[in-house]
Amino acid sequence: YFFFFLISAYVGPSTWVTKFPMAAGSRQSPVNIETKRVESDHEALSSKPLRWKYPATASRKLVNPGYCWRVDTDGEGTFLSGGPLMDDVYKLEQYHCHWGCSDSRGSEHTVDGQAFAGELHLVHWNTSKYKTFAEAAKASDGLAVLGVFLKLRGSRYLMRGSQLRNSIRANDTLLADTTLRYKNGRDEPRRAGRTRGASFLRARFVHIVRLCNSFEICPGCIKKHDNGYWTYLGSLTTPPCNESVTWILFKKYIEVSHHQLNIFRNLRKFPRGEECPCHENHGVCSLWKSSEWYSRSGP
């Protein structure tokens, strides 16, 4: 494999195991990447480079399941292949994001013990071997998730609490547009208890797509810079925690601002009337530990 590494297993939220036996497995994600213990495989890198294609038209629907934003695709024209996936062709099923309450955490994977502000996940399934996403999700080589860290703009490597406020740039178009739309548009939820609905989400969709474009989800850029990636065999990071995921984590991150992260945090958590923002949704967050949460909507 390309960059192959051994990592110490991350111990997920403890209550998951009782409800989802797979969470007790031996290849659970996320993990902490110990860069000193990573093994590189340059031969594999040159013989089977990772390749991908994501036409913008494949993104069909923005969904708020109550704990993240997610874009469902029709998979048309998309593929991810090569690298640890060898010759199998994986199609993009959906992409979604994880973030935290504060800028100092939010990523699911960590690098040498340090968290990023967020993590974008592009979820693919193996169309060479399986007929449906559901079938692939049960197989050990069924899924491939490409992860891209979201790093707070202006922070050196990681973010350290309050000093970050100074690093917000004025030409943050994402913030400007959103604020405008929210304040002056019809999308603003004026009545107390009203949920931010589809139009609110649609407004955000533009920004999410822009965010993805800024890292070039129809890539090229990552290949050129050739920063490589880390890969390991792991699982879904949320219940049912299927151990079916080949993880590919780009070393190259996307920069985001404090305000962009706040937009994510302000997504509504519940479907009707309950004013509870989706503050954080990364692997270790209490959201997932609450059994009440499962009964509401499930992961």
- Establish if 268 lies at the interface with Zn ion (CB under 5 A): no
Cα separation, 126 vs 118, in Å, equals: 26
By a kind-dependent CB cut-off of 5 to 8 A, residue 219 interacts, out of ligand SG4, Zn ion, none, with none
CB 148 within 8 A of CB 254: yes
For binding to ligand SG4 (CB under 6 A), which residues are involved?
65, 68, 70, 94, 96, 121, 123, 137, 145, 236-238, 299
**Shorter beta-carbon distance to Zn ion: residue 117 or 175:** 117
Phi/psi at 51 (nearest 5 deg)?
-130, 150
Cα separation, 210 vs 15, in Å, equals: 36
- Establish if 196 lies at the interface with Zn ion (CB under 5 A): no
Q: Which residues contact 159 (CB under 8 A, 6 or more apart)?
A: 103, 104, 117, 151, 152
**Shorter beta-carbon distance to ligand SG4: residue 53 or 70:** 70
- Establish if 121 lies at the interface with Zn ion (CB under 5 A): yes
By a kind-dependent CB cut-off of 5 to 8 A, residue 70 interacts, out of Zn ion, ligand SG4, none, with ligand SG4
For residue 174, give Cα distances in angstroms to 9, 198, 217, 280.
Answer: 36, 19, 17, 20
By a kind-dependent CB cut-off of 5 to 8 A, residue 65 interacts, out of Zn ion, ligand SG4, none, with ligand SG4
In the beta sheet, which residues pair with residue 138?
none
Residues 81-120 vs Zn ion: string with x where CB under 5 A? Answer: ----------------------------------------
DSSP per-residue string spanning 124-184:
EEETTT-SSHHHHHTSTTSEEEEEEEEEETT-SSS--GGGGGGG--TT-HHHHHHHHHHHH
**Shorter beta-carbon distance to Zn ion: residue 48 or 265:** 265
DSSP-derived secondary structure letter, 193: T
**Shorter beta-carbon distance to ligand SG4: residue 237 or 246:** 237
Task: Tell me how far, at minimum, the Cβ of 100 lies from Zn ion, in Å.
Answer: 13
**Shorter beta-carbon distance to ligand SG4: residue 164 or 256:** 256
Residues at the interface with Zn ion (CB under 5 A) = 121
